[in-house]
Amino acid sequence: MASIASQDVADTPRQIHPTLDELKASAYDSPNIEAALEALHQDGFVVLKSVVDVDHVKNLNSFMAKDAEHMIKIKPFNQGVNSNILQAPPLKQPELLYNDVFFNPFVIQLMNAYLGSKPIWNFLTGNNALPKTNGLRQPVHKDITFFHPQCPFFVIANVPLCSFNPSTGSTEFWLGSHAHTAGRQQKITTPESKLANARLVVGDPMCDVLPDVIEERRKIRPPIQPSCEPGDIMLRDLRTWHAGMPNESENYRIMLALGYQAQWYPNHTLRVKLPLSQGNFFMKHGGQPVEVRADLLPDDVDFVKLNDDFTFRRSEGSKL
C-alpha cells in the first residue's frame, strides 16, 4: 500500500457533515458514526462540521477576545513559545453557557462510541494563538508527560471561535501519529527540564517528540493544518502529535478545549473547576450520557488558574 505522502491526492482531515435529519435529532446515524470512528482510529483526528450555533460561537469569541487583553499580561506562554496562551472560556455568565458548546450531543455520542459508555468530562481550557506572531511555532509534541496507554483513553474536543486556517494559526496536526506512538519517542525529563503548564517527573517523557522520530514520521505522512469555520468541532485523540503555529492575522485565534476520559482509565483526581452559581447548568449535562467530574466552588475563586492546573497522569497507586 502506498504511503499517504506518495499518493496524488492531498492529505486532509476527514470531515463529518450532518444531514438535516441528524441535525433535527441531534444525533448521527450509522454511516456518519462509522466514518467518524474510522477517522479517530486511523487519523486520531476528525472535524465535525456545523454542529454548533454560529451565534453562540461569535458571542463567546467577542467576550474572550476582550478578556485576552488582560490575560496576555498575566499568563505564561504555552509550550514555552511566546505565541500562544491557555485561555479558558467564561463560566460565571449564564448567557454564555450553551449546551451545544459544553455538552454537544454529536461530540458526546461519538465519545461514547470511541472511549466507551458514559465518558467522563473532567477537563476544560482554551487556546489563544496571539496575533501577528509570524515565524513563531511550538515544537511538535503531545500533551502527555508520562508513559501513556497505547489505546484510546482521552480525547480533546476543540471548538474554534473564529475562522481556523493556516493564516490565522490553525494547529499543525500529524494525522495517524497516535496509532503507535509511545513515551520512549519523546524527550525524557531531567532535573534541569522546565515547561509551563506541565508537571514533570524526572525519568518520564516530556511533551516534545524526538527530532529523529519526527523526521521518520514526516517521510510517511507529513503534518497538515486544517481549515475550519465557526460552528465546527475538532476531535483529537490525546496521543496525536501537534504544534501551535504562527497567527499571521491581526486578531486572536481562540479555540476552546474540552477533555473526555474513558471510564476505565485510572485518573481519579482530574476535575474541572466550575462556579457553584452555575452548578445546575453543568450538572444537568445537557441531558447527555456523560459523567461530569467537577468541583463546584465559590464564584470568587480564580477558575482560570485552577483549571490550568491539571494532569492526565494515572492517579497515585494505579498500576501501569
Q: Render pLDDT for 10-67 as a digit per residue (tens, 0 to 9).
A: 689 999 999 999 999 999 999 999 999 999 999 999 999 999 999 999 999 999 998 8
Least confident segment among 4-13, 64-73, 187-196, 305-314: 4-13
Q: Return the domain boundaries, the chain.
A: 4-308
Q: Please give the Cα distance from 173 to 223 (Å, whole number).
A: 6
Average the pLDDT over 90-101 and give the result. Answer: 97
pLDDT for 245 equals 92
Instruction: Tell me the pLDDT tens digit for each residue of 114-146.
Output: 999 999 999 999 988 888 888 889 899 999 999
* Spatial CB neighbours of 313, under 8 Å, sequence gap ≥ 6: 145, 146, 199, 267
CB 128 within 8 A of CB 308: no
Residue with the larger pLDDT of the pair 107 and 200: 107
CB 140 within 8 A of CB 173: no
Average the pLDDT over 198-214 and give the result. Answer: 92
Query: Which CATH class, in words, describes the domain spanning 4-308?
Result: mainly beta
pLDDT for 316 equals 78
Instruction: Tell me the pLDDT tens digit for each residue of 259-276.
Output: 999 999 999 999 999 999
pLDDT for 77 equals 59
Q: Please give the Cα distance from 297 to 282 (Å, whole number).
A: 13
Residue 235 has pLDDT above 90, yes or no: yes
CA angle 23, 27, 29 (to 5 degrees): 100
Task: Tell me the C-alpha to C-alpha distance, in Å, between residue 79 and each of 100, 195, 218, 244.
Answer: 29, 6, 21, 9
Residue with the larger pLDDT of the pair 81 and 172: 172
Residue with the larger pLDDT of the pair 80 and 100: 100
Structure-block grid coordinates of residue 230 = 465557526
**pLDDT-derived band of residue 195, with 50, 70 and 90 as boundaries?**
confident
Residue 5 has pLDDT above 50, yes or no: no
Q: Please give the Cα distance from 275 to 252 (Å, whole number).
A: 26
pLDDT for 163 equals 95
Structure-block grid coordinates of residue 146 = 508520562
**pLDDT-derived band of residue 308, with 50, 70 and 90 as boundaries?**
confident
pLDDT for 125 equals 93
Residue 4 has pLDDT above 50, yes or no: no
Residue 198 has pLDDT above 80, yes or no: no
How would you classify the pairing of strands 120-129 and 84-86?
antiparallel
pLDDT for 317 equals 66
Residue 71 has pLDDT above 90, yes or no: no
Residue 309 has pLDDT above 60, yes or no: yes
Element (H, E) at 216: helix 211-220
Please give the share of the chain, as a percent, with pLDDT higher than 70.
92
Residue 80 has pLDDT above 80, yes or no: no
pLDDT for 83 equals 72
Structure-block grid coordinates of residue 313 = 497522569
Instruction: Tell me the pLDDT tens digit for each residue of 148-171.
Output: 999 999 999 999 999 999 999 999
Residue 99 has pLDDT above 90, yes or no: yes
Q: Please give the Cα distance from 2 to 241 (Å, whole number).
A: 22
